[in-house]
Amino acid sequence: MTFPRILASGVVCLTAALSAFAEDGFVSLFNGKDLEGWTRRSGLAEYRVEGGEIVGKTVANTGNSFLCTLKPYTNFILEFEFKVAAELNSGVQFRSEFFEKETEVEIEGKTKVFPADRVFGYQYEIDPSPRRYTGGIYDEGRRGWLANLAANEGAQKAFKPGDWNKGRVECRKDEIKTFLNGVKAAQITDSKTLKGIIGLQVHGIPKNREPGEEVRFRNIRIKEL
C-alpha cells in the first residue's frame, strides 16, 4: 500500500526539479568527470579533472593555452567559479576564434598573422596581481585591453586571493557585461566578434619561472539567450 505513495512522491520531486531547471535555463558545460566537449588549443599546458574541478597547470616552453568548448555561442549568460595561484595570470575566453591554418588578418589598419590554432578574442581577465584587474575585458591576441579595472575600485576589492571567486559574463548582441562575485566589473559595446567558443586559459610563463602553478574552474554553466 505504501509503494504508490513513494512513487507519487518521487514523481512530484522530479517534476519540481525539472520545473526549476526550466525556469533557471542554465546548462552545465562541464560534466564534473572528464573533459568531454572540450579540447586544448594554442599551447601545451596540462588540463585534468580532479574532485569535480577542471585544473589547468603551467608547463615550460609554451605560450598561452586554452581548453575550449567544441561549440560556439552567440548571446548568453556564462557563469563559472575559479581559484588561481597567487602569481598566475589566467582568464576565460568567450566569443573567441581560431584559424585552422596560418592566416593574415587586418586589424584596425595593421596586418597581423595568426598561427594555426591560436585562440583570440574576448577574455574575462583573471588577474591576482596587486592591480587586481580580474573581471576586466581583454581582447586576447588582437587589440589588448578593452576595459580594465583601473577606475573600478569596487570590483578590484571584490577579488578574493587564494579563494574561490565567481565570474559572470553577459553577451547580448554588441553589449558585453562582466561581474565578479556579484559586483559589476566592466561593460562595453563592441561588435568585433558576435559568436565564438569559450576557453579556459593557462597563461604561458617566463623561462626562468618554475612550472606547475595551477588555476581551477568549477560550476561552469551557460544560459543561451
For the four alpha carbons of 103, 205, 62 and 49, in that order, the dihedral sign comes to negative
23: left (phi over 0), alpha (psi -120 to 50) or beta: alpha
pLDDT of 134 reads: 98
3-class DSSP string for 15-58: HHHHHHHHHHCCEECCCCCCCCCEEEECCCCEEEEECCEEEEEC
Cell of 90: 589566467
The model carries a pTM of 0.89
pLDDT > 90: percent of the chain:
87
pLDDT of 168 reads: 98
pLDDT of 23 reads: 54
pLDDT of 24 reads: 85
Strand order in the sheet with 65-69: 38-41, 65-69, 197-202, 90-97, 120-126, 137-140, 144-147
State which residues of the chain have pLDDT below 50. 1-22
pLDDT of 164 reads: 98
- CATH architecture assignment, domain 26-224: Sandwich (2.60)
- Tell me how many helices (H) and strands (E) the chain has: 2, 17
